[in-house]
Amino acid sequence: MIKLNPIKSEKIWGYENWIASVHPAAPHKELLESCGSDYPLLVKVIQANDSLSVQVHPDDKDAFRLEGNGNRGKTECWYVLDAEPDSKLVFGLKNITEKKYSKAELASAIQNNTLENYLNFVAVKKGDFIFIPSGTVHAIGGGLRLLEVQQSCDLTYRLYDWGRPREVHIEKGLDVIKEDHLIPVAPFEKTFECDYFKLEKISISGGYSMLASKGECKASDWQLIFVIDGEGTVNTGEGQSEVLKTEDIIAISPGEKITIEGKLNIMKIKCNQVNR
């Protein structure tokens, strides 16, 4: 078991904590040494004091096509940890199921600073869940704190930045937009699963034990436990013990047994076997 410390990155809109990463941009040394560079997920806590850019990420095929060998796509999801009143985010394009916008139309809107007319703004609150498949146009609004679980990828194509003078990637961004079958934003239920990761929210009042599956003992067999809120302790069968508090995260090796005691809500994060 490894308790991971956040790696903080200041941004013009707030900051993000990389809390479980083997990505070269900000790796956790302990996780990298234990499971190697092949761990396929990246987990962050994002504090958005202002709106992030409107952006889109490529899927695996487009990442390879546009960026070359060794690149993967970026499917991600957000769990809202906290939200100021009337907080919103961009979740796809407006009326996308009824109308398909051409690249030329969207490029013109970007150049004319009218892209906001095409964006689907959604109100969100604490406890909501948003699944962002690769190819989805999106932007986190100000006043939000999110848990983000994603493929281990840092490829972002920025389409629009609310007038801020940062680089945009219009051609590549428009080339990778795919907005089919988006799941409506809603409060997180007990579990969620996609091709890349599985999430399970567990409420603990007293004790909870689990045995991490051995699988084939690959990097992707490591599991993560994130504390949404509350406090307690976690103990292993080998006598290791750690105090847990809100937003702590631990990595559990394949075959390891842990027991958590206290009153807390956790999010269990696993790689999906489809992408082992």
Q: What is the pLDDT of residues 48-99, one digit of tens each?
A: 999 999 999 999 999 999 999 989 999 999 999 999 999 999 999 998 666 7
In a shared domain, residues 167 and 196:
no
Strands 2-4 and 249-252: antiparallel
Q: Rounded to an integer, what distance in angstroms lies between the CA atom of residue 247 and that of residue 132?
A: 22
What is the span of the domain harbouring residue 221? 192-275
Q: Rounded to an integer, what distance in angstroms lies between the CA atom of residue 275 and that of residue 153?
A: 14
In a shared domain, residues 44 and 177:
yes
Look at residue 180 in the predicted model and tell me its pLDDT: 75
In a shared domain, residues 242 and 131:
no
In a shared domain, residues 118 and 227:
no
Q: Rounded to an integer, what distance in angstroms lies between the CA atom of residue 263 and that of residue 229?
A: 9
Burial of 165 (0-12, 13-18, 19+ CB in 10 A): exposed
Query: How far are the Cα atoms of 3, 110, 220, 265 from residue 276, in angstroms, in the given order?
Result: 23, 38, 6, 27
Cβ–Cβ < 8 Å for 215, 254: yes
Share of residues in the chain with pLDDT > 70 (%): 96
Residue-wise pLDDT for 182-201, tens only, equals 999 999 999 999 999 999 99
Using CA of residue 244, residue 246, residue 251, residue 252, what is the dihedral sign? Answer: positive
> Of the given ranges (187-191, 235-239, 268-272), which has the lowest mean pLDDT?
235-239
In a shared domain, residues 144 and 112:
yes
Mean pLDDT along residues 111-118: 93
Residue ending a domain, choose from 144, 164, 188: 188
Query: Distance of alpha carbon 153 from its chain centroid, rounded?
Result: 10
In a shared domain, residues 84 and 161:
yes
Mean per-residue pLDDT over the chain, rounded: 93
Q: Rounded to an integer, what distance in angstroms lies between the CA atom of residue 51 and that of residue 2?
A: 33
Active-site option among 65, 72, 145, 158: 158
Residue ending a domain, choose from 188, 223, 242: 188
List the 128-132 sheet strands across, edge first: 7-11, 14-20, 41-48, 144-151, 76-83, 128-132, 186-187
In a shared domain, residues 29 and 132:
yes
Look at residue 276 in the predicted model and tell me its pLDDT: 41
* Among 75, 27, 25, 20, CA closest to 45: 20
pLDDT higher than threshold 80 for residue 217: no
Cβ–Cβ < 8 Å for 77, 128: no
In a shared domain, residues 41 and 159:
yes
Share of residues in the chain with pLDDT > 90 (%): 84
In a shared domain, residues 119 and 177:
yes
In a shared domain, residues 13 and 48:
yes
CATH of the domain at 26: 2.60.120.10
pLDDT higher than threshold 90 for residue 179: no
Mean pLDDT along residues 238-264: 95
Helix (H) / strand (E) element for 9: namely strand 7-11
Would you call 65 a catalytic residue per the annotation? no
Helix ranges (DSSP H) in 169-244: 170-175
Residue ending a domain, choose from 188, 215, 250: 188
Cβ–Cβ < 8 Å for 232, 225: no
Look at residue 238 in the predicted model and tell me its pLDDT: 85
In a shared domain, residues 114 and 12:
yes
Look at residue 70 in the predicted model and tell me its pLDDT: 86
